């Protein structure tokens, strides 16, 4: 079978299109024929070496497809089941052997492409708004990269919870998309200082929470956007890692809270995985959560997918199709 492999850390050019043996499912695993793989910044971080991983490796962690075979001891899945996961080792491939406990069944009415597009980003938006900082009706939140894959879902879920949503975007077209997703205000950070705009839009009060996936470029001003005892939820670093911080700054700016969560810790228990995936996929099925797929590329063009993601030329999800 074909797969995208990385032997040495680097940019998109480090990914190689190679022939590799098809995996065999071990005890507790299912062999999944992958129909769509999600492209995420974590894949970029692994390829570049920002996130350490044993090399060589097959890239990717998020995919959807059908169960092709079962290893010993798997009783709650059947061959032919449609499944998805954010724990697919080597998702940029035609097949992957996946721990059965990390797979969720895709409900009727949801396509494999929709499932691959929403598992990581949808459950991220879910844990951010339900667990890390549980939004309440009337809360004001700031969503960075509001027209990105997570951002569009965050806007929708935040509005679902009754929050007032401010979003930052880079272009008028992305502002339109963010508003369509539920943002009450779309701030073009390329034309104005977003922290000043947040203060203006909140009458100087600031927001209860900032959901920040950008990192280095937005971090300092994100702190300035917060109300007293507000929360900065840093869940990504698309512009680079944040410099070390003196905790005294959190005191000086209003007894602020700072957290750096990751999805893995919010779906570690199978019960929590099923709860979050069930909610997100259920909303997709009933049409109350819109999944935006920016484009689909052949698996062999994974390098181009990473270039598009890093250059911020996308709005919504990138998928690779084996």
Note the pLDDT tens digit of each residue in 243-282: 999 999 999 999 999 999 999 999 999 999 999 999 999 9
Q: Which residues lie closer than 8 Å to 272 by C-beta, 6 or more apart?
A: 266
Determine the pLDDT at residue 313. Answer: 75
Domain limits, the chain: 2-119+269-321, 136-260
d(CA 194, CA 45): 27
Cis peptide before 56 (omega within 30 of 0): yes
- How many CB atoms sit inside 10 A of residue 230's CB? 24
Q: Across the chain, what does the average pLDDT equal?
A: 96
Least confident of 59-63, 146-150, 298-302, 312-316: 312-316
Say what the pLDDT of residue 136 is: 97
Instruction: Write down the pLDDT at residue 311.
Output: 86
Kindly report the backbone phi and psi dihedral angles of residue 156, in degrees, each rounded to the nearest multiple of 5, phi listed first: -65, -45
Q: Over 80: is that where the pLDDT of 312 sits?
A: no
Q: What is the mean pLDDT of residues 206-220?
A: 96
Give me the pLDDT at residue 315, please: 79
Q: Do domains 2-119+269-321 and 136-260 have the same CATH topology?
A: no
If one looks up domain 2-119+269-321 in CATH, what number appears? 3.90.180.10
Model confidence at 316, pLDDT cuts 50, 70, 90, reads confident
Closest-CA residue to 28 (of 95, 118, 101) = 101
User: Which residue, among 216, 212, 225, has the nearest Cα to 133 in the 3D structure?
Assistant: 212
For domain 136-260, the question of CATH label 3.40.190.10 is answered with: no
Q: How confident is the model at residue 85 (pLDDT cuts 50, 70, 90)?
A: very high
**Number of helical H runs and strand E runs in the chain:** 9, 16
Residues 6+ apart with CB under 8 A from 76: 100
* Cβ neighbours for 132, distance < 8 A, ≥ 6 positions apart: 231, 233, 235, 259, 261, 266
């Amino acid at each position: 079978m074909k797969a995208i492999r990385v032997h040495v850390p680097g940019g998109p050019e480090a990914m190689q299109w190679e022939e590799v043996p098809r995996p065999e499912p071990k005890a507790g695993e299912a062999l999944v024929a992958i129909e769509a793989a999600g492209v995420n910044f974590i894949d970029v971080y692994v390829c570049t070496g920002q996130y350490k991983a044993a090399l060589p490796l097959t890239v990717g962690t998020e995919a959807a497809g059908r169960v092709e075979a079962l290893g010993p001891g798997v009783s709650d899945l059947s061959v032919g089941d449609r499944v998805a996961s954010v724990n697919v080792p080597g998702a940029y491939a035609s097949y992957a052997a996946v721990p059965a406990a990390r797979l969720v069944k895709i409900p009727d009415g949801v396509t494999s492409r929709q499932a691959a597009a929403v598992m990581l980003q949808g459950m991220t938006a879910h844990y951010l708004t339900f667990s890390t900082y549980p939004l309440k009706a009337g809360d004001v939140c700031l969503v960075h990269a509001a027209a990105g894959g997570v951002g569009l879902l965050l806007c929708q879920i935040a509005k679902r919870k009754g929050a007032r949503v401010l979003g930052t975007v880079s272009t008028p077209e992305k502002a339109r998309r963010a508003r369509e997703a539920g943002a009450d205000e779309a701030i073009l950070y390329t034309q104005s200082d977003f922290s000043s705009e947040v203060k203006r839009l909140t009458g100087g009060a600031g927001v209860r929470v900032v959901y920040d996936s950008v990192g280095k470029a937005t971090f300092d001003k994100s702190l300035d956007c917060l109300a007293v005892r507000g929360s900065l939820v840093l869940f990504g670093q698309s512009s680079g890692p944040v410099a070390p911080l003196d905790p005294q700054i959190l005191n000086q700016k209003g007894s602020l809270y700072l957290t750096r969560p990751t999805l893995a810790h919010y779906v570690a228990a199978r019960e929590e995985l099923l709860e979050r995936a069930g909610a997100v996929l259920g909303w997709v099925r009933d049409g109350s959560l819109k999944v935006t797929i920016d484009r689909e590329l052949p698996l062999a063009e994974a390098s181009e997918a990473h270039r598009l993601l890093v250059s911020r030329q996308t709005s919504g999800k990138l998928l690779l199709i084996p």
